A and B are shown apart, each in its own frame.
Chain A
Amino acid sequence: MMRMSAADASVLDEIAAIAVMPGDLVERAKALLKPLQRITPCDAAFITAFDPERRVQTPLLRHGYTAAVMRALDGPQLTDDVEQAGLHGPSLPVRMGDLPVPVETLPTWSQHLYPAGIRQFLSTGLFARDGRYLGVVATNSADPRPATEAARLLLARAAPWIGHAVDPLRTVSAIARLVGDAVAGVALTRAADIVPLTGLPGHPLLAPGSPVVLAAAARTAGGHPLTTFLCPDDGEDPGGGLFRVSMLACPPQPPGHLRRVLLLSPAPYPHGLTRHELQILGLLIEGWPLARIAVELSTGVRVLTGDVELILAKLGAASRHMAAARALRRGVYIPAELTRSVRREQR
């Protein structure tokens, strides 16, 4: 690669310094405006974070646009036009003349940017180091002269840092560090899909649509910052080990699809409770009467009543309500969803 000029190196240093700042990704995106203006002269600029579930480019930074243009940038058209422009895959930054399609065919350009007096742009897609598509950065100018080749190469070098600055998984991975003994984890999206975390492996129990993920998704309604429950680590062997599942809420941040962090930690059997007793607690937490629990667990009400008495003693609880409330707060129960999924498989 060409040797960079001292001015270019200082722009890149500035961008890298912003990228490694702790805190909020919107703040970092906003701080990037100045170095962007140093890459190429421009009258307006934006950075977006792509929400893959709603397929919208959520704004992180917007500077210099009219209200009408901003409304246009909010819509789904931008997502289509960004794809048409080839900015959803790795490529060199593009100016108007570098587009793979005629610029007039992009409605965001022909209906909004051009009528607002914008005549040129320099834009590139943003990607994380592991290849995840993160969003777009663009600068616009009223001056029809295209950005120089040097500016284009400088933006290409800066793009990985800009991507790092706006990577939403950074916040999410920091939250995952709160559970120090976690051995596996994923991020859970708005649509109950999963996204791998940086720094922690995934796990078959945390596959999309798995009983653990469904049980976790069913527990997001209370708006709790932290929810924990137990999960057998094999599903079959009643003497097998347990995992503690911890679900932590992600702070609201663009693009907004990453909602929870799900983590697995090895856990001992708590308070001397057996797997069967932890399943009973899971059903008591649902508010089920004993007769229904007995049917679900294929046991008799009389036997179950004895089991419940033992559970109360082990938890030091004076009543079933109290035992279930304690189990809920301590996360010492196997959720009904996990008990039922095993039963269904056995049928």
Chain B
Amino acid sequence: MTAITPPAHQVLDEVTAIGGHRGGLPERAEELLDVLHRLVRFDAGRIALFDAPRHRQTDLAIRGYPDRARQYLAGPGAIHDAELLGLHRDPPPMRIRDLPRPAAEFPIWAEYLHPAGFREGVLVPLVTPDGRYLGLFAAMSHDARPVSDATCALLGRLSRPMAHALDPMRAIEALAALVTDAIAGVVLTGSGGTVALPGLPGHRLLRPGSPILAEARTCYDDGDTRATFLTPTGPAAPSGYLNVTVLACPDQPPHELTAVVLLRPAGDLRHLCHREMTVLGMLISGCAIGDVGARLRIPAHSVRVALEQARAKLGTSSSAAAVMRAADHGLYLPPSLIRSA
């Protein structure tokens, strides 16, 4: 495996620039492979992301691997190998000869790559600047000569900028940063779980299985690009309120980060009372005005009074406009968040 070593800052510049491109993650990975191929003359190369929820590796870009090797890499064996190598512990780049165990112990090498004529290679873990393990870059060559120590050191320096360029959390963080007064937040995943949002703490109201997350998921599944509503902060009726803002994440295949759920101070509630916010929430959720009283176990007259008071407080000319203003500004309590008294 031969390598030419250009000035480090030049390669760093190129990798950093790729991080700023508009394309999706697979396009960026292809561009990174182009840069890496000039650095390490590999015969087979791949950039793969570790897909934690599905417990497998997903190739963003792959070149030169035999089909059978690719099938193996898409399966659970590749994850097992990566764990044996301790890639998640952010080791320096490893050549085949540097592996912590003999290469022959790894099926990918013994059964697929070595028989296909590959004789050397290098593995680089991709770890973000804030320490999250994203995946790996692997390069294999028919040439048995290993890359130099200098090239290994340069590849090690590229780990973080490469991971930064391929980090799906960057767009999510940028999205969350649009909400400047968020006090807590999480990211919903396609498989139903949550992952932490870098830079923001979680919250007891945003634990897996919480009513807020269920409501947020319903909004996302409905196709909402953004939803905003209020939540009581405690079980007692005269409690405080927080605003919940749900923003659909940009699609970033192969990742399934679906929506950011943020908590912010409730802001100006226009002196709306709990009942008024509850009635508004019922109407926004499709309840007919005649049914609101029955569901809240209050007389129909009280519902009309609450709606009229809400209209006056929101300063609109009609109750329909008041309901829409509440929907737009998130000044309502969704029925799923009202604890049955």
Contact A321 B284 (CB under 8 A): yes
Tell me if A225 and B247 are in contact (CB < 8 A). yes
What's the minimum C-beta distance from A231 to chain B, rounded to whole angstroms? 15
- A224 with B285: in contact, given A178-B171, A328-B327 (CB under 8 Å)? no
Query: In the bound complex, how far is the Cα of B316 from the Cα of A318, in angstroms?
Result: 23
Query: Are B228 and A224 neighbours in the complex by a CB distance under 8 Å?
Result: yes
A287 surroundings in chain B (CB, below 8 A): 316-318, 320-325
Q: How far is the CA of A321 from the CA of B287 in the complex (A)?
A: 9
The stretch of B63-71, B146-154, B177-185 in contact with A is B177-185
A20–B222 CB distance below 8 A: no
A226 and B226 in contact, given A177-B22, A178-B174, A180-B22 (Cβ under 8 angstroms): yes
A73 within 8 A of B: no
Give the contacts of B15-55 with A (CB-CB under 8 A): 16, 22, 24
Are B286 and A328 in contact, with the CB atoms below 8 A? no
Contact of A226 among B171, B247, B285 (CB under 8 A): B247
> A150 — which chain B residues lie within 8 A by C-beta?
none
Are the CB atoms of B318 and A224 closer together than 8 Å? no
Known contacts A226-B247, A251-B180: does B323 contact A321 (CB below 8 Å)? yes
In the complex formed, the residue of B with least CB distance to A318 is: B286
| Bound CA–CA A260/B288 (angstroms) | 37
Nearest-CB residue, chain B, relative to A322: B286
In Å, the complex CA distance between A5 and B51 comes to 51
Q: How far is the CA of A318 from the CA of B283 in the complex (A)?
A: 10
Chain B residues with CB under 8 A of A317: 286
Which of A174, A177, A228 sits near B225, CB closer than 8 Å?
A228
* A residues in contact with B219, CB < 8 Å: 329
CA–CA, A175 to B173, complex, Å? 11
The reply on A85 being an interface residue by CB < 8 A is no
Shortest Cβ distance from B247 into A: residue: A226
A286 proximity list for chain B (CB < 8 A): 321, 324
**CB of B175 closer than 8 Å to a CB of A:** yes
**A30 within 8 A of partner (CB):** no
Which partner residue on chain A sits nearest B283 by CB separation? A321
**Taking A180-B251, A225-B247 as contacts, is the C-beta distance between A319 and B288 under 8 angstroms?**
yes
Contact with A along B275-286 (1 / 0, CB 8 A): 000000001111
Query: Once the chains are docked, how many angstroms separate the CA of A112 from the CA of B122?
Result: 64
A330 with B224, Cβ < 8 A, contacts A199-B22, A222-B328 known: yes
A268 to B70, CA, bound (A): 36
Residues of B near any A CB (own CB < 8 A): 16, 22, 24, 171, 174-175, 177-180, 219, 222-228, 245, 247, 250-251, 267, 283-288, 316-318, 320-325, 327-329
Show 30 residue pairs from A and B whose CB-CB distance is below 8 angstroms, ordered by the A residue: A177-B22, A178-B175, A179-B250, A180-B22, A180-B251, A199-B22, A222-B329, A225-B179, A226-B225, A248-B178, A249-B180, A251-B180, A270-B223, A286-B324, A287-B320, A287-B321, A287-B324, A288-B320, A289-B318, A318-B286, A318-B288, A320-B320, A321-B284, A321-B324, A322-B283, A325-B323, A328-B324, A329-B225, A330-B222, A330-B223
B175: nearest chain-A partner, CB-CB:
A178
Complex Cα distance A270/B222, Å? 12
Which residues of chain B come closer than 8 Å to A249, judged between CB atoms? 178, 180
Whether B224 and A225, one on each chain, are in contact in the complex, defined by CB atoms closer than 8 angstroms, is no
Report which of B245, B287, B316, B324 forms a contact with A225, defined as CB distance below 8 A: B245
Q: A19 to chain B: closest CB distance in Å?
A: 13
Q: Report the nearest B residue to A332, measured CB to CB.
A: B223
Q: Check B284–A180 contact: CB distance below 8 A.
A: no
Cα of A330 to Cα of B225 in the assembled complex, Å: 5
Q: Are A252 and B250 in contact (CB under 8 A)?
A: no
Residues of A within 8 A of B178 (CB): 175, 225-226, 248-249, 251
Any B CB within 8 A of the CB of A136: no
Q: Distance in Å from the Cβ of B209 to the closest Cβ of chain A?
A: 23
The answer to the question of A326 belonging to the interface, with a C-beta cut-off of 8 Å to chain B, is: yes
Chain A: interface size category: 35 or more
Chain B residue numbers with a CB within 8 Å of A248 are 178
Contact B227 A321 (CB under 8 A): no
**Interfacial chain B residues near A227, Cβ < 8 Å:** 226
| Smallest beta-carbon distance B177→chain A, Å | 6
| Sample of 15 more A-B contacts, CB < 8 Å, known A180-B22, A224-B226, A322-B283 | A175-B178, A178-B171, A179-B250, A180-B250, A249-B180, A251-B180, A284-B324, A286-B321, A287-B317, A288-B320, A289-B318, A317-B286, A321-B327, A325-B284, A329-B327
A338 contacts chain B at the CB level, 8 A cutoff: no
Contact B321 A319 (CB under 8 A): no
Q: Which residues of B contact A222 (CB under 8 A)?
A: 328-329
How far apart are the CA atoms of A97 and B191 in the complex, in Å? 69
Chain B residues with CB under 8 A of A252: 180
CA of A328 to CA of B326 in the docked complex: distance in angstroms? 11
Residue of B nearest to A317 (CB): B286
| B176 nearest CB neighbor, chain A only | A225
Q: CA of A328 to CA of B325 in the docked complex: distance in angstroms?
A: 10
CA distance A199 to B267 in the complex (A): 36
Determine the chain B residues whose CB is within 8 A of the CB of A328 once the complex forms: 324, 327-328
A165 at interface by CB-CB < 8 Å:
no
Please tell me if the beta carbons of B16 and A20 are within 8 angstroms of each other in the complex: yes
Which residues of the partner chain B approach A331 to less than 8 Å between Cβ atoms? 225
Question: A329 contacts B286, CB within 8 Å?
Answer: no
Give 1 or 0 for each of A139-174: 1 = CB within 8 Å of chain B CB.
Answer: 000000000000000000000000000000000001
A-B complex: 6 closest residue pairs judged by Cβ atoms: A287-B321, A318-B286, A322-B286, A225-B178, A329-B224, A325-B327
Find out whether the CB atom of B226 lies under 8 angstroms from the CB atom of A326: no
Cβ proximity bits A243-261 to B, threshold 8 Å, 1 near / 0 not: 0000011011000000000
Cβ contacts under 8 Å, B287 to chain A: 318-319
- A251–B323 CA distance with the chains assembled, in angstroms: 29
> How many Å lie between the Cα of A46 and that of B220 in the bound state?
47
Interface string of A306-343 (1 = CB under 8 A from B): 00000000000111111011101111000000000000
A18: chain B residues within 8 A (beta carbon): none
A94 at the interface (CB under 8 A from B): no
